[in-house]
Chain A
């Protein structure tokens, strides 16, 4: 598609439930990133996929968080046993291989854990 697409745009879940957030990057972009945006905290890096290389998972806050990217395209971020502190906006971005191109961001998924 023309831009980065994220779904759902909003998700309300009960504490303890698992959630899946989806990201569909721009066609041809080999790099895909997940960030978390919490109020007053800026953007927190979560995970980064680049082509067929092993993902950079250094930003995942706990083992409840995982992500995969199938076929070098769509990515799913999974949060297991959600906690209230997981409430945030989850942003996905994609880019061409080199960092100089910058990112194109999706509109994000607003996750609320109640």
Chain B
């Protein structure tokens, strides 16, 4: 069984400030990990993914995440927030086997960016 925990439901940062969105996972087998972003009234868009290669993963829009096995974490960061980053962010996990690629999502975190 696998799960992800996203602590808190809302993060607010100033424009230009560091963005840090936390995700911790629980998985009985080595996982694949994903971050998705959802803008208002849209579906989810893949930001980045960890698939057992490099532990530091770079994604779109300047976001990156680091897989830390010892901490069972996959936190999402961006050095400088833009107003356009305001959205809901979801962390997700799946087992790294082809037999069942079902993703399990966290509850999501809403990011607000203040001018």
Cβ-defined partner of B97 (8 Å) among A35, A40, A99: A99
Q: A42-B90, A99-B32, A100-B32 are in contact. Are A107 and B101 (CB under 8 A)?
A: no
Interface string of B77-115 (1 = CB under 8 A from A): 000000000000010001111101111111110000000
Chain A residue nearest to B45 (CB atoms) is: A105
Task: Count chain A residues whose beta carbon lies closer than 8 angstroms to a beta carbon of B.
Answer: 26
Task: Count chain B residues whose beta carbon lies closer than 8 angstroms to a beta carbon of A.
Answer: 27
A-B contact count (CB 8 A): 65
Binding site for B on A (CB under 8 A): 4, 31, 33, 35, 40-43, 45, 48, 50, 56, 91, 93, 95, 97-100, 102-108
Binding site for A on B (CB under 8 A): 9, 32, 34, 36, 41-46, 49, 51, 90, 94-98, 100-108
